[in-house]
Amino acid sequence: MCLDFCLPNIGIPLEALLASTFTVAIAEIGDKTQLLALILAARFKNKTAIILGIFLSTLANHFAAAWLGQWAIGFISPEVGRYLVAGSFFAIALWVLVPDKVDEEESRFYSMGPFLATFVLFFIAEMGDKTQIATVVLSAKYDALAMVVMGTTLGMLIANVPVVIAGHFSAEKLPMHWIHRGCAVLFALLGVVTLMF
C-alpha cells in the first residue's frame, strides 16, 4: 500500500520531499553544522559564497548518504528493512537529545576562502552527523532518492541560511531544550509510522 502523497499524473512522492525537508530542518537547529555556519558567517563577509558552499557540500554529502540508504535496503527483506528503519528513527530520536558542540576551529581551511572553506568544513562536519544518518534512513524508507536529497538539502538551507545572513544569531537564544525534545518526538513518530505502515 503506497502511503506517499503523489503529485497528480507524474508520480513524484511528495511525502518523501516534505518529510525529508521538515525532519532535517528541525534536526539541524542547534546542530554542529549550524554552529559552524555561525562561525563561518562571523569569519567571512561573503555570505553568498558561504551559502553556496553549504548548498553544494550538503548536496554531495546527502546524495552519497541517500544512495547508501537505497543500496543497503536492497540487501534485506522488506519486513526486516521496515524494522531496521524504524529502529534507526528511534535511535536518532535519542541521539538528538544530546547537544552538539563545534570541534576546535579548523582555521587551516580559512585560507581557502569562504566558498572552499565552507564546502570542506561542512562536508567533514556532516560525516556521521545525525542529519546525514537521517538522510540514509529516509532514503531507505522512501524509494525516492532525488526527493529525499532535495528535501534534506532544502532542510539544511532552511536551518542554516538565516544563521549566515543574520551573522549575530546565536543558538543559545533559542529554547534548545524544547527544540531537541520536539525533534526527538518527531523521529520517534517517524519510527512508529514506519512500524504501523
Per-residue pLDDT tens for 85-102? 778 778 877 876 776 565
- Give the residue, 11 or 156, on which the prediction is more confident: 156
- The three-class DSSP label of residue 30 is coil
- Crossing angle for the helix pair 145-166 and 14-27, to the nearest 10 degrees: 30
Q: Which residue is associated with the grid cell 551573522? A: 167
C-alpha cell at 8: 497528480
Per-residue pLDDT tens for 71-88? 988 888 778 777 887 787
Is residue 36 predicted with pLDDT exceeding 70?
yes
Beta-carbon neighbour count of residue 97 at 10 Å? 11
Is residue 190 predicted with pLDDT exceeding 50?
yes
Is residue 174 predicted with pLDDT exceeding 60?
no
Say if residues 138 and 23 touch (Cβ distance below 8 Å). Answer: yes
- Work out the mean pLDDT of the chain and round it to a whole number: 80
Predicted pLDDT at 7: 40
Predicted pLDDT at 8: 46
Burial of 74 (0-12, 13-18, 19+ CB in 10 A): exposed
Q: How confident is the model at residue 184 (pLDDT cuts 50, 70, 90)?
A: confident
* Mean pLDDT score, 16-24: 91
Distance between CA atoms of residues 12 and 5, nearest Å:
8
Predicted pLDDT at 3: 41
Predicted pLDDT at 92: 74
* Mean pLDDT score, 114-128: 90
**What is Dmax (Cα atoms) for the chain?**
53
Q: For residue 24, which amino acid is it?
A: V
